[in-house]
Amino acid sequence: MKPQSFEDMVVFPLSLKIDNIPYFITLDSALKTRKFLIKEVHTFGEVPVLKVINHLSEQVLILDGEELRGGKQNRVVNTSILVKKNSELVIPVSCTEAHRWHYISDVFEDPDVIPIEIRKGKTESLLRNLLSKGEFESDQGLIWDMINRYHMDYDVDSETSAIRDVYEKEKDKLKDRLNKFPYIDGQNGILVYVDGRFEGMDIVPLTSAYKELHEKLIKSYLFRRPLKKKNNLFKDENEKIFDEISKIEPLKFKSVGLGWDLRYGGDKYIGSMLVYRNKPIHINFLSKDYVFQGRLKISNSVNFKENSLEGKFIFSILFTGNAPAMLVVMKHSSICFISSIFRKDMCIL
């Protein structure tokens, strides 16, 4: 694997090897069966929640940042959720279409992804609400404000203030740029730099699922507000980033669906990891921008004793460029579970 680059964006394809990842299918695959439905919670609807009905015998991953079209207004999923087979579930969402509140369909479909900047704002505000209220709730006003900025930057007049209207205008340009970052056989993640600085990282260790999500994740990083380019020279800082991330103490919350939702908040990064049966399902870290810069602090005195994760496993992470492979042995506590993934003082081959 080699780094992929085009214009101001550099992508490092990642290959993270973990044995016995629980099997699941993606939201796109599930919706195609017509046995997996997402609907308003009731006829009148409620903005911050939707109802999921899974008639399948497979578990389904709904990815943080996936936007759903339909119902009384388009919504974006607030956090990654692993939906149990043959089950029903109410999931937390945010509105991405402020000026529509009427049905265009009974169910939601056509999942896409929101821009990286809105993902950042949503993720930061969600962590603040988890800490203050214990709920997977975003700052809805912030999301609407950011969507309005996209409309202005791209000169889009949207009758319903939908972020998807911006995408529709730009989709041909995005398609051309997407072709510059193809999926590589065996890949299950990306680490992205924009204009010379770290922008974010997404890993879905189950390769079959990542392959389906690859284009969607790349699009999230490509679909952003026009940059005022600083023309920063690109410098591979992967090991430095991994080291800094490893020093952030995680907080553990019960996931909306199966497993546990581990959250990170630091001065430079915001992140999350969905874990099920001691295996990471989705890993996501983003650089912090101006949205809540410096306003989110997590105490170092948090008691993790009750939140320990049992068991241990071994995996390796490979990233492109001249950086070596990393072999990591996971430990028992939730702190070690998270931070060891990117700790450079482990066994480096």
Q: Which residues pair with 37 in a beta bridge?
A: 53
Which has the closest alpha carbon to 273: 113, 64, 76?
A: 64
Count of other CB atoms within 10 angstroms of residue 212:
16
The domain spans of the chain are 4-342
Angle, helices 163-178 vs 207-222, to 10°: value is: 110
Per residue of the chain (349 residues), what is the pLDDT tens digit?
A: 789 999 999 999 999 989 999 999 999 999 999 999 999 999 999 999 999 999 999 999 999 999 999 999 999 999 999 999 999 999 999 999 999 999 999 999 999 999 999 999 999 999 999 999 999 999 999 999 999 999 999 999 999 999 999 999 999 999 999 999 999 999 999 999 999 999 999 999 999 999 999 999 999 999 988 766 666 677 788 999 989 998 899 999 999 999 999 999 988 999 999 999 999 999 999 999 744 443 444 333 333 233 333 333 223 333 333 332 232 323 323 333 334 444 432 221 1
Write the secondary structure of the chain as one string of H (helix), E (strand) and C (coil).
CCCEEECCEEEEEEEEEECCCCCCEEHHHHHHCCCEEEECCCCCCECCEEEEEECCCCCEEECCCEEEEECCCCEEECCCEEECCCEEEEEEEEECECCCCCCCCCEEEEEEECCHHHHHHHHHHHHHHHHHHCCCCCCHHHHHHHHHHHHHHCCCCCCCCEHHHHHHHHHHHHHHHHCCCCCCCCCCEEEEEECCEEEEEEECCCHHHHHHHHHHHHHHHHCCCCCCCCCCCCCCCHHHHHHHHHCCCCEEEECCCCCEEEEEECCCEEEEEEEECCEEEEEEEEECCCCCCCCCCCCCCCCCHHHCCCCCCEEEEEECCCCCCEEEECCCCHHHHHHHHHCCCCCEC
Confidence (pLDDT) at 227 = 65
Pairing, β 60-62 against β 25-26 = parallel
Q: Is the dihedral of CA 255, 202, 325, 287 positive or negative?
A: negative
Place of tokens 């553990």: 252
Q: How far apart are CA 289 and CA 305, in angstroms?
A: 32
Pairing, β 260-265 against β 66-70 = unpaired
The predicted-structure confidence for 198-210, as pLDDT tens digits, reads as follows 999 999 999 999 9
Q: How far apart are CA 45 and CA 40, in angstroms?
A: 5
**Those residues with Cβ within 8 angstroms of residue 89's Cβ, 6 or more apart along the chain or in another chain:** 51, 52, 54, 81, 83, 256, 257
Confidence (pLDDT) at 165 = 97
The predicted-structure confidence for 113-139, as pLDDT tens digits, reads as follows 999 999 999 999 999 999 999 999 999
Its pTM stands at: 0.84
Count of other CB atoms within 10 angstroms of residue 16:
23
- Is 271 in contact with 244 (CB distance < 8 Å)? no
